[in-house]
Amino acid sequence: MTNDIIVIGAGIIGISTALELQRRGHQVRVLDRAGIATEASSGNAGAFAFTDIEPLATPGIMRKAPKWLLDPLGPLSIPPAHALKITPWMLRFWRASWKDRYTVAVAAQTQLMSHSRAALERQITATNGEDMMQREGQLQLYEGENEFRDSLPGWELRLAHGIDFQMLESPDAIAEIQPGLDPRFTHAVFTSDWMNTVDPQAWTQHLAKTFLDLGGHIETTSIHALQHHDSAAEVQTSSGRITARKVIVAAGAWSHHLASTLGDKIPLETERGYNTSLPAGAFSLRTHLTFGGHGFVVTKINGGVRVGGAVELGGLKLKPNYKRADILLQKASKFMPALNSTGGKKWMGFRPSLPDSLPVIGHSARSNNILYAFGHGHLGLTQSAGTAELIADLVDNATPAIPITAYAATRF
């Protein structure tokens, strides 16, 4: 039997895509090796970061590269054991930081963010999900005048793309929005329309339940390879071979391995992110806090506090280095003196990242029956609803809501 559509991956991208395809009248079957929201979708910061339009590969960033190897606990690091393997990716990352590629990436990221914001609101309405949202804004915090001034080009970029924000230039002004911060943070920028979910895993599960209640199917099985045929695609799993009219690969950090079985070589690396989730009552958090100079955020999750972030380009196989989570929690305790840092639970997740910080959204170069929706880095939750609509447009042979050339798998 040939299925209509198979989605590989039950994280936020895969579930959102399955739900949108179902809404448009398709019969959808989701396959995942571990179950609903068991990987990056379970422990991320829960933020819809629509203002983050600047890629990681910014002009001049390679001048900082030597520091990454020297500081294994810094906000951006490469473990020595992975340094040689990641060299080809780093060369592409360096090329992506050139002004021509950077300008294209900013424009493409801005388009996708704008579309995803509107798509998320449609998704929230369609699934009665408003009670799972926190519309409390975000504070980006700076230690002193110099750090604040250094950030201004990024805010000018956002302003040029229509992003609204408010600049705060004293600890007192900051305290009106978020009391209890160390006075070393003298400047901040507040984005009032920033939003978070109360729990990223629960939000994904909510969408999955909606999908199942409407007749969708989700199965746990290992996926080994893909094959393409003239009018269908085949998925090789531990349960056997499954054919479908269309297959969407949304398997996060494992997606490029499946793409490679078709012959598509996509340079995906993993941003290994770390966090510690503290129980309710740990701190009276009023808004999402971003400590950009230290590479981490503090967010409200289920009434508790999640302290996490940083980027460790370390692949899928190295053991987690939970000292990274510890150092973030130690910093948070200094920056938020009233924080109760006891009783926390540590976590590490794999963010699937491409050198230009843009995802792959579109058809496989080998087959129009296989589509890709992966590589969103730390923006998977943010761009999930928008990606789902774009993939559904392609499945329906409709013109996508925004141009998608910049996200093509063939760009590499």
pLDDT score of 69: 61
For the whole model, what pTM was predicted? 0.96
Q: Of 78-87, 170-179, 197-206, 239-248, where does mean pLDDT reach its minimum?
A: 78-87
- The Cα–Cα gap between 132 and 381 comes to 14
8 A C-beta contact, residue 358 and residue 308:
no
What 3-state class would DSSP assign to 77?
Answer: strand
pLDDT for residue 70 is more than 70? no
| Cα within 13 Å of Cα(379), Cβ side | 27
| Cα within 13 Å of Cα(320), Cβ side | 14
Domain ranges of the chain: 1-59+97-131+197-268+354-412
- The Cα–Cα gap between 77 and 303 comes to 31
pLDDT score of 65: 67
Could you give the angle at which helices 380-395 and 99-126 cross, rounded to 10 degrees?
Answer: 80
What 3-state class would DSSP assign to 296?
Answer: strand
What 3-state class would DSSP assign to 361?
Answer: strand
Q: Maximum CA pair distance of the chain?
A: 66
Q: Considering the chain, what percentage of its residues have pLDDT values greater than 70?
A: 99
Q: Across residues 16-44, what is the average pLDDT?
A: 96
What 3-state class would DSSP assign to 398?
Answer: coil
CATH code: domain 1-59+97-131+197-268+354-412 is 3.50.50.60
In terms of residues, how long is the chain? Answer: 412
Distance of CA 24 to the CA centre of its chain: 25
Tokens of 410: 């063939």
Kindly indicate the confidence band of residue 3, based on its pLDDT and cuts at 50, 70 and 90: confident
Q: Across residues 51-76, what is the average pLDDT?
A: 80
Angle at alpha carbon of residue 315, lines to 201 and 274, rounded to 5°: 45
Which tens digit of pLDDT belongs to each residue from 71-127? 777 777 888 889 899 999 999 999 999 999 999 999 999 999 999 999 999 999 999
pLDDT score of 1: 65
- The Cα–Cα gap between 233 and 368 comes to 9
- The Cα–Cα gap between 334 and 407 comes to 40
Residue carrying structure tokens 């006891």: 342
Which tens digit of pLDDT belongs to each residue from 135-170? 999 999 999 999 999 999 999 999 999 999 999 999
Write the CA distances from 365 to 264, 356, 399, integer angstroms.
Answer: 7, 19, 18
